Structure 1
């Protein structure tokens, strides 16, 4: 018996000795595990790595890295979640709304780090509960309150601050950006100096637009007058072809034709005539959009895009939004995140004099102001509201940010605001079929083609979004493949990001790519060879495409499976060219202004790609100045 007890004691000592022999990064004692442990998980753009610092088997520190996560979206999760994990000691913290994939990757990587430490991650998934304490109600006074921290809101805020006004922005989400940060293409601007850096070769595009205007819109006075002016400008240019051909009127014509002629002509003229100046204003604020390319619905190369240090194109939203936020901070603009506005305050005369909102813990935040600017975005993420106005879109996926719920429209109509074109809801033809990620229209403008399940082209790829989407939905399975080659990949950080995110299939030959796509290999190879011939001839007898760029003949080849998704709501609040919100009878609601996707009338029945950034920049500036003048 004594021998058995002695043996058990010796075994216990040896076990304790073995436990104590671990290194610094995996040390343990009767008190628990201490050290730094690392785990990795798949994020939106690539690997996300989390390092946990453990002290006696408790999380006391956390860092996260993910160099390929989306700027302004995934990077917000990387900034916010590690601190919450370290503070709470739990990996069950709430993710960042709008950055779900990156948030989940951080938590999965943290779980992997705990596993590496020899601990059970489930023991660290205790829900982090609110302690039940509500922050105190508060009141803020400002010259101008802006609701929504997207592109329009921050542009308006910068403009108003530069006018010497105190500005507060309320944002319902935990990050700035809204739909603006998701914009991938660029900004349309007519007749800029950066267009002149291109050799003009879009005669067919101009003539096609003039022909469309004559054949389809002869009874539309605005379109007819614009077409007459553009015809005269075009004839003059042909007689003396210097520089690059574009004009404010051609941009207006493209916008009106794209919108099927139901746009408000005065708002369209305001958008286009101020677009070039808006590019210069962005320049003054450190935001450079000088690379010019083709985009759907535009007669000529007009979309202005950012590039990285290597000259590769990058997504416009994730580039612009952090810089707009930086400009807001420099200008002293106060941004209240996680603060949802729910009521516009009015005085006895019906003028807007502030906003009432709800803070993160349920507290009431009241902002008293001399003017209110609504920049809350549209309602594309509110699929019940979408189907209310357009029932045939029931069941569609959406590309919209979570905050695009239509609350700005509802708050304004509650005090008598009018609306326009609410049933005009745009679907985008290139939404990644598995994740609903938006695939930029710029790929098609730069030469990509769309291929159906039979391995064939089926539409002019740079037609307007409504036309391309309708054609895609009519194909087998209601999807298509967006095809690019290595030359396009080399020129675009955006495409490289899609590859890293796992959106693409690839092949060294057309036949190999066709097999990876699951289409008829021979038919696909024939389609691609035929298309390359059309590029050489600058003529597409099948579908009348007039924008060709380069042949797709540099291996390897890549394809992304895409489908249509709810993208933009063209309808919204009725405004005038000074961004004042109008009542149903057309009279002005004093002190209330609006800009961006919350408004209607600018885009008509279909928004052209590149016009959303132009919209929020041009009208955001006007709203900021108009509100400042009113608040003087």
Structure 2
């Protein structure tokens, strides 16, 4: 058994772990990062950018957002289920974190909204090559990794942590393994940031109540199996609220695929009974739409359009776009449509009649016909069921009909380890487990009950900021212990 000693050991080399490691090292600590993958970053490599409030870029662009307004919006969104002190500290620090990253060399393209009703808090990373988009934050991770190594942080890859070592109730290190066998790392503080349980169907079923591959088609970043959460629980940590960062996509398409473009519009949405169940304007907010879909039979829905609507979008442009889809136009859809016709599709259905469409999708045919007739009548007057904005009332009367199957998805998990606003891990009595900290997705129980899409950039933003809080808190704890010993 090999033994190592350090001041701070960080379990996980993703956004929260790197933020914690760099912060602790900047505060004079000797730091080791143990990462079970063969590279740093984890799910942050898939991200686009973090939240920031009252940043320089926002001020320069006259974006009117304050910490007070963001805080109130977050707390109202969660009905005050979220930890107010933790959210306040996170938001107050967020502008400084953007500046901290910029000083490292990270560049940001712009502060953006996710959808029109959200705030422009999403600071999208400018990659070294190409336009900002999915995976843009990988550039940020590379820079953070280089900064950590520059500060002397020792990063051990392919070194999964097995357990937390405690002595008389205090956390003093971890056990791990690598290609050469078992090792123990003794430290003044341990910080957990392993990225959640998005790659663990058993955890998802047990703690969220959804079955992956059956009624949930979420992203699964390899290795995010909840091991950090489990080892914290084994060390006495209290379980906190656990959920998924819910969105909706056509199943097994990878999310925001071109095939979805004309269907992620405020058009007719029906369930398997052929009935409307939502004011389709809500479709711009992914979590609200996912909530509505989750309550339907088999947790699926269908967006119904016709050829005339497709031509309308080709000529006039889409009604709703977001930062992810803004680089695509309807030509992308047409290419995907041809591929689907050639190779078949289990999500896109095309028919010459409503009856044929119902047969292909499994939707109740009589109800679907009645729903479309009623919906078309609303287009000539007003939506008497949900009072949808008249500008989105476009009739479905074409000779060719399309339906896209929509199901539940998620960007990943959230929550599991109970922490306080210093990111100290708490036990079931809500007392601090000395020497143990948690950050990022493992401890992100702020989305109670839903991901706060009104303030986009939250997941990466919380990972970075809670990591920084954990890094500084751990160093303060170690220094206080040293003073007590002297």
Q: Normalization by structure 1: what TM-score?
A: 0.56
What corresponds to 2:467 in structure 1?
A: 620
What corresponds to 1:585 in structure 2?
A: 429
What corresponds to 1:607 in structure 2?
A: 451
- 1:179 aligned counterpart, secondary structure: helix
Separation in structure 2 between the aligned mates of residue 173 and residue 498 of structure 1, nearest angstrom: 37
Separation in structure 2 between the aligned mates of residue 616 and residue 503 of structure 1, nearest angstrom: 38
**CA shift in 2, pair 1:560/1:449, >3 Å:** same
Find out whether 1:154 has 2:18 as its counterpart: yes
**CA shift in 2, pair 1:265/1:164, >3 Å:** same
- C-alpha deviation, 1:339, in angstroms: 1.3
RMSD: 4.2
After TM superposition, list the pairs within 5 Å mapping 1:460-471 onto structure 2: 460-463=282-285, 465-471=286-292
- C-alpha deviation, 1:584, in angstroms: 1.0
Q: How many residues align?
A: 408
Deviation string, structure 1 residues 150-173 (Cα, Å, up to 9, x no partner): 100001111111112211111122
**CA shift in 2, pair 1:190/1:599, >3 Å:** same
Separation in structure 2 between the aligned mates of residue 320 and residue 562 of structure 1, nearest angstrom: 32
- C-alpha deviation, 1:562, in angstroms: 5.6
What corresponds to 2:411 in structure 1?
A: 567
Find out whether 1:598 has 2:442 as its counterpart: yes
- 2:41 aligned counterpart, secondary structure: coil
After TM superposition, list the pairs within 5 Å mapping 1:443-462 onto structure 2: 449=265, 458-462=280-284
Which residue, 55, 72, 75 being the options, matches 1:253? 72
Find out whether 1:189 has 2:7 as its counterpart: no
Over alpha carbons, which structure has the higher Rg?
Answer: 1
Separation in structure 2 between the aligned mates of residue 368 and residue 481 of structure 1, nearest angstrom: 59
What corresponds to 1:505 in structure 2?
A: 336
- C-alpha deviation, 1:323, in angstroms: 2.0
What corresponds to 2:301 in structure 1?
A: 478
Structure 1: gaps of 5 or more residues: 1-136, 199-242, 508-515, 528-540, 549-558
Q: Normalization by structure 2: what TM-score?
A: 0.72
Runs of 4+ in 1 over 6 A off after TM superposition: 481-488, 490-495, 497-504, 520-523
Which residue, 123, 145, 166 being the options, matches 2:9? 145
Separation in structure 1 between the aligned mates of residue 133 and residue 140 of structure 2, nearest angstrom: 10
Separation in structure 2 between the aligned mates of residue 501 and residue 419 of structure 1, nearest angstrom: 44
Structure 2: gaps of 5 or more residues: 271-275, 339-346, 355-371, 373-385, 393-402, 480-486
What corresponds to 2:377 in structure 1?
A: none
Find out whether 1:378 has 2:196 as its counterpart: yes
Contact 2:54 2:65 (8 Å CA) reproduced: yes
- C-alpha deviation, 1:611, in angstroms: 0.4
Which protein, 1 or 2, shows the higher relative CO under an 8 Å CA cutoff with sep ≥ 6? 2
- C-alpha deviation, 1:297, in angstroms: 9.3
- C-alpha deviation, 1:248, in angstroms: 0.8
Contact 1:453 1:519 (8 Å CA) reproduced: no
After TM superposition, list the pairs within 5 Å mapping 1:402-413 onto structure 2: 402-413=222-233
Deviation string, structure 1 residues 212-245 (Cα, Å, up to 9, x no partner): xxxxxxxxxxxxxxxxxxxxxxxxxxxxxxx432
- C-alpha deviation, 1:460, in angstroms: 1.9
